[in-house]
Structure 1
Amino acid sequence: MDAPEYQPGDCVYCDPDCQKGHWSNHKAHCRALRQRKKLLRTANILKAALLTYREVVYDVDLTKIQFQDGVLCLHQNQRPITTRSKRGLFPVHLTTNIDHKEAALANNQCTTAMALLGRLTQKLLEDETDLQDYHLAIEVLDIHIGKPLVPTKLVPGPDSSDMPHTVSKVGLLFADEAWILDTAGCQYGFREVLVPFEKYLADKSCQIVNEPTTYDATETKDLDYFSTFPFLNRTPAQREDKKLERQARLHFAVFVNMHVSNDVLDGSDVEFKDKLDSFVHDLKLHMLNLGH
């Protein structure tokens, strides 16, 4: 029940008798559906973790959120590199539209998501028997989104429409399935966080920018890389921003180590929803305690 489709109609029987009569052939497929369901639950937790983190540690000085001519415009007070970023709670008073809020939280955050969620991804999946029996392969893939539903743009700000979007490519090898796990796709108006690989590329008119690489990220992998570029570390404000972001990432890692186990993927749909709600609540409280 509620497993995502890989091919149209592959999750449906016309009635229970039909399913029982086909059970000897269907058994392996049923197991694959169970694995897909846990992968979807994992994807939903990862997206919730990214958005919750950003909601507490938000570093854009937004003044207005406006949908105009098919584009979601995020108006900001743009700061010089000599001024530290404004970090704090997301300004929820600017919108009551959940899609607009999520797009603002995820804007330009795909690289952050890959690093921030690395430990959480591993913890959820590495000991999950149903998934490991099918030998998961998780890779990082850079793509260009040719057909966003609702592009998001910082105003003023650079044109990022040609920037690559980073996602995870997840292979269930023995099931011969490949999925895209996209935690930051809401910045393009994409609601689904787990989509079959070929369908994702086709529906969004994607071009692959480079070959996928093994997903082995830690919370600060991107920050470690950025610290090697002098122009990103030229001013005291730039260095202080990276220091504060590093502290927040490591604080997030403490939560993952202490409060997350893969049994969060188990249970009925109602039980999982309760677990997800508790996860978001507890993570938000934990991040609000940053620095205390």
Structure 2
Amino acid sequence: MAPAYLTQCANCLTDAIMRCVGCMDAPEYQPGNSVGIVYCGRYCQKGHWSNHKAHCCAFGNRRKLLRTASILKAALLTYEEVVYDVDLTKIELQDGVLCLHQNLRSITARAKRGPFPSHLTTNVEHKEAALANNQCTTAMALLGRLTRKLLGGVASTIEVLDLNIGKPLIPTKLVPGPDSSDLLHTVFKVGRLFANESWILDTTSCQYGFQDVLIPFDKYVADKSCRNLSDLNTYDANETKDLDYFETLPFLNRTRAQREDKKLERRARIHFAVFVNTRVSKDILNGSAVEFKDKLDSFVCELKLHILTLAN
């Protein structure tokens, strides 16, 4: 139990200040529908359990979904921070657009893979946007195993959806670079079975200036003015699904440098999969908000060290 604002006990209707830990901190699906249950003490909590059990489980699963989204975003950004392959020279906000200035390389030159140049910005949101820029396809592949592992205990369906973000908050652009405003953006659609809920899980939304990673489907589509929604496909990707496809495209395999870069990326992806298999437990989703934050911080630190063992 955790302290809360004074309200009525769900069991005896007397004044109460203790919230049920099992269902607190769940995200809203509809405005105002994430309010947790409050009790005056453990006796009433125990007495009310048969009535509260289904509600507690449903809200607890919502919270697991939100925590999963936070872990997935952290995993992607941590991975990209260690193996970053864009030769950035400057990061600046110009006329509402986050410009990522880069040195272009020829197709015969190898990518400069290494730690993200954090000295270019002190703005955390700008750094995250740079790390996530044009990485939604990478996220779709890289995070498949981790997504399924974390959500294995939550009754849900997971599908892939491509769309256009019609109204970005702060778009991100490589300079020089092609216009990417009409590029398809890949997200996950998660349906909670038996709850009639559909959520968008978007690990790279920060490249458009958005910080929320988990949003109800209808709200996501409306708020971002989404266009050209594709058909849904079952999410069955592994860490190298996109690389497998890229290897079938002649223009991406013309030079030795291109082939070597993809080979090194494949090694890094498989190394990431080893971490997921051996170091990640679904227990990371449990505990209080403070406990989860500690677990997430440890996850990021351990993942960074793991990826660095390959880089070194």
TM-score by length of 2: 0.87
Unaligned runs of 5+ in 1: none
Q: Deviations over 1:90-124 (max 9, x none)?
A: 00000000000000000000000000000111111
2:301 corresponding residue in structure 1: 281
Output the amino acid matched with 1:10.
N
Distance apart, 1:24 and its partner CA = 7.2
Give the one of 125, 148, 151 matched to 1:99: 125
Partners of 1:24 and 1:258 lie apart in 2 by 37
Q: Structure 1's 140 and 14: CA in aligned 2 closer, same or farther, altered over 3 A?
A: closer
Distance apart, 1:26 and its partner CA = 5.7
Does the CA contact (< 8 Å) of 1:141 and 1:208 recur in 2? no
Q: Structure 1's 197 and 82: CA in aligned 2 closer, same or farther, altered over 3 A?
A: same
Give the one of 31, 34, 39 matched to 1:11: 34
In our comparison, the structure showing a higher alpha carbon Rg is 2
Q: Structure 1's 149 and 23: CA in aligned 2 closer, same or farther, altered over 3 A?
A: farther
TM-score by length of 1: 0.93
Q: Secondary structure at 1:240's aligned position in 2?
A: helix
Q: Is it true that 1:214 corresponds to 2:234 in the alignment?
A: yes
Does the CA contact (< 8 Å) of 1:62 and 1:74 recur in 2? yes
Higher relative contact order structure (alpha carbons within 8 Å, sequence separation ≥ 6): 1
Structure-to-structure mapping, 1:57-72, within 5 angstroms = 57-72=83-98
Partners of 1:73 and 1:30 lie apart in 2 by 45
Q: Secondary structure at 2:116's aligned position in 1?
A: coil
Q: What's the Cα RMSD here?
A: 1.8
Q: Is it true that 1:33 corresponds to 2:59 in the alignment?
A: yes
Q: Deviations over 1:137-165 (max 9, x none)?
A: 00000011000000000000010100010
Distance apart, 1:248 and its partner CA = 0.6
Q: Structure 1's 147 and 33: CA in aligned 2 closer, same or farther, altered over 3 A?
A: same
1:173 corresponding residue in structure 2: 193
Q: Secondary structure at 2:105's aligned position in 1?
A: coil
Q: Secondary structure at 1:207's aligned position in 2?
A: coil
Does the CA contact (< 8 Å) of 1:4 and 1:37 recur in 2? yes
Give the one of 224, 230, 245 matched to 1:225: 245
Q: Structure 1's 32 and 61: CA in aligned 2 closer, same or farther, altered over 3 A?
A: same
Partners of 1:15 and 1:156 lie apart in 2 by 56
Aligned pairs, how many? 285
**How much identity, in percent, do the aligned residues show?**
74
1:138 corresponding residue in structure 2: 158
